[in-house]
Structure 1
């Protein structure tokens, strides 16, 4: 499934939601979690992920902390207080958009 543009447009909300579900995550962990949850249908590249993480951090929605793990420094990302407030509204906004898109495209729910 070719969905790079769709992922790019919803990457911030994906990151915020994952961080709201987990106390903290590092970049590679985020990419692997998305890949596992979607059975490989969605894959986030490092080239897309890290600029999004840096922007979210610059916007004050996430923070980061470094920890030494196995002799290497690993950067973990966490939701900030503003990020915790924002994730709910962004999920509501995305749900509304998906509902309207479904109406416009006359999509019927799939039963798998």
Structure 2
């Protein structure tokens, strides 16, 4: 992850994971990291050290379930949203959209009318 983006992604990682899984159905960890990198043309990269604690927490919270499957002689753990996880993904996306709107209002305020007019 590029240094300037690290703090932003840390606060949105849960939303990113939930939204990717809502779109893709099920994914494994490496696949999630690759999707983020591809969709952002390499501007954002996730480390496994950042991703897996979030995945484990989402499983503990009942938002994700896991399925293990053997692929090329190796076990691969897939993550998938639970019904509550699907609802949470929608909620988190709405919260994020609202946050972005508020940040735009703060950083790019609309011009105000002059007092003498």
How does the TM-score come out when normalised to structure 1? Answer: 0.93
Q: Across the two proteins, how many residue pairs are aligned to each other?
A: 108
Give RMSD over aligned pairs: 1.3
Gaps of 5+ in 2: 111-117
Query: Where in structure 1 do 4 or more consecutive aligned residues deviate above 6 Å?
Result: none
- The residue that corresponds to 2:64 in the other structure is 62
Taking structure 1 as reference, are residues 91 and 46 closer, same or farther at Cα in structure 2, changes over 3 Å only?
same
1:107, 1:92 → 2: CA distance?
22
Q: Is 1:15–2:38 an aligned residue pair?
A: no
- Give the drift of 1:107: 7.1
- Match among 31, 47, 56 for residue 29 of structure 1: 31
Counterpart in 2 of 1:86?
Answer: 88
Q: What TM-score comes out, normalization by structure 2 length?
A: 0.89
User: Hey, what's the Cα distance between the residues in 1 that align with 2:101 and 2:82?
Assistant: 28
Structure 1 residue 23, shift from structure 2 partner: 1.5
Gaps of 5+ in 1: none
Q: Which structure has the larger Rg?
A: 2
Counterparts of 1:11 and 1:39, CA distance in 2:
17
Relative to structure 1, is the Cα distance of residues 20 and 5 closer, same or farther in structure 2, using a 3 angstrom cutoff?
same
